[in-house]
Amino acid sequence: MPINYFSSNEEILNRIGIRIKALRIDDNLSQSELASRTGVSERTIGNLESGKDVSLSTLISVMRVLGIAQKLDLAIPEQKVRPSQMYKYGKAKQRVRKSKIVENTGWKWGDEE
């Protein structure tokens, strides 16, 4: 089943775990072999595969060993500078500025009391 906008965090973790486990088995690796190659415990690999929350660096290490770390570029693509930003700011935006809220000036439409 695909991961989409409406998937809960728990569903996404479960699906990632299932996919990692399938890749590990496809590469003919046991949990202990994968743990040894990534430098984490076998229990951490088990937690990842069962959909429990693990650190991002652990996930990256596992993805690197399984040969799929480059796929993070698909998940989080590099942002290109838009020409309109270059024109308006002379460079890529570095931060977000909130627009100022216009305060109530006391003006009324005329039919309000």
Tell me the whole-structure pTM to 2 decimals.
0.71
Residue 86 lies in a domain: no
Q: Where are the alpha helices (DSSP H) in 1-113?
A: 9-26, 31-38, 42-49, 56-65, 72-75, 83-89
pLDDT at residue 60, rounded to an integer: 95
Among 63, 36, 33, residue whose Cα is nearest residue 48: 63
pLDDT above 90: residue 30: yes
Asked whether the beta carbons of 77 and 70 are under 8 A apart, the reply is no
Where residue 113 falls among pLDDT bands split at 50, 70, 90? low
pLDDT at residue 8, rounded to an integer: 94
Q: What is the CATH number of the domain that holds 39?
A: 1.10.260.40
Cβ-proximal residues to 83 (8 Å cutoff; 6+ apart), any chain: none
pLDDT at residue 33, rounded to an integer: 97
Residue 21's CB: how many other CB atoms inside 10 A?
18
- Distance (Å, rounded) from C-alpha 47 to C-alpha 53? 7
Residue with the two structure tokens 């973790």: 13
- Among 7-11, 35-39, 58-62, 109-113, whose mean pLDDT is lowest? 109-113
Residue 85 lies in a domain: no
Residue 82 lies in a domain: no
Q: What is the mean pLDDT of residues 26-55?
A: 96
pLDDT at residue 99, rounded to an integer: 75
Residue 50 lies in a domain: yes
- Given CA atoms 21, 14, 60, 2 in this order, what sign does their dihedral have? positive
Which residue range is the domain that position 54 belongs to?
Answer: 9-75
pLDDT tens-digit readout, 73-83: 888 888 777 77
